[in-house]
């Protein structure tokens, strides 16, 4: 599963000026604030319910995405050396949480991400068709990692079935009001222990 994505939604996207992201993402490139090889920034704000402002990298993309009318940070791994699904999901979640944390810590961004919902998508329809057996495999692999992410708060896992032609997508929700930083700290601690 080389192409996976994780998306955390904004708590309030109405007051956000996405144009600020252009400077923020260029700074991430200049100052090497994000792991991997970031390459360029693209502005797709003109596309309705599209990727918005996007940081394009060699291994990953980061976008303030508004697909399906909900704005959030979408972190997509395009080149993932992990062959195990569990490792790929852990890596994409860590990347997304680190990007969310960087944005939240930047005063120019001025918004917060909700920790109570994450969308995981497998963007390889050949390896993971949008069907029940693939969802069972994805939810099984994601369950343990989501338990680490949310700690004692159980996550409810559901399949997003908008259209069978779309990539396999899992939506996890938890009654969690912790900051994104707390989720990242918990997942990094588990990563360091293994």
> Is 158 within 8 Å of 44 (Cβ atoms)?
no
| DSSP run (H or E) holding 24 | helix 20-30
| 150-168 pLDDT, tens digit each | 988 889 999 987 777 889 9
Flag whether pLDDT at 81 surpasses 70: no
Q: Domain map of the chain by residue range?
A: 4-193
**pLDDT for 135-152, tens place per residue?**
999 999 999 999 999 988
Lowest model confidence (mean pLDDT) among 41-45, 67-71, 118-122: 67-71
Summarize pLDDT for 9-31 with one digit per residue, the tens: 999 877 788 899 999 999 999 99
Residues in Cβ contact with 127 at an 8 Å cutoff, skipping those fewer than 6 apart: 1
In CATH terms, is domain 4-193 a member of 2.40.50? no
pLDDT higher for 175 or 2? 175
What's the count of helices (H) and strands (E) in the chain, helices before strands?
A: 4, 8
Interatomic CA distance for residues 105 and 163, integer angstroms = 36
Give the pair of three-digit tokens for residue 43.
């502005």
Residue 135 tokens read as 């969802």
């Amino acid at each position: 599963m080389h192409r996976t994505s994780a998306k955390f939604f904004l708590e309030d996207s109405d007051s956000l000026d996405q144009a600020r992201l252009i400077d923020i993402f260029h700074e991430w490139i200049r100052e090497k604030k994000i792991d991997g090889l970031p390459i360029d920034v693209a502005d797709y704000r003109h596309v309705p319910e599209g990727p918005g402002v996007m940081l394009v990298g060699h291994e990953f993309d980061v976008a303030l995405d508004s697909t399906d009318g909900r704005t959030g940070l979408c972190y997509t791994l395009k080149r993932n050396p992990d062959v195990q699904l569990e490792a790929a999901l852990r890596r994409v979640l860590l990347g997304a949480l680190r990007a969310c944390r960087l944005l939240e810590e930047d005063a120019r961004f001025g918004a917060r991400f909700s920790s109570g919902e994450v969308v995981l998508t497998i963007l390889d329809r050949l390896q993971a068709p949008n069907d029940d057996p693939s969802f069972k495999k994805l939810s099984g692999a994601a369950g343990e990692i989501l338990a680490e992410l949310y700690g004692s708060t159980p996550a409810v896992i559901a399949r997003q079935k908008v259209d069978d032609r779309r990539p396999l997508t899992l939506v996890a929700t938890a009654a969690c009001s912790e900051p994104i930083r707390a989720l990242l700290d918990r997942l990094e601690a588990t990563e360091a222990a293994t």
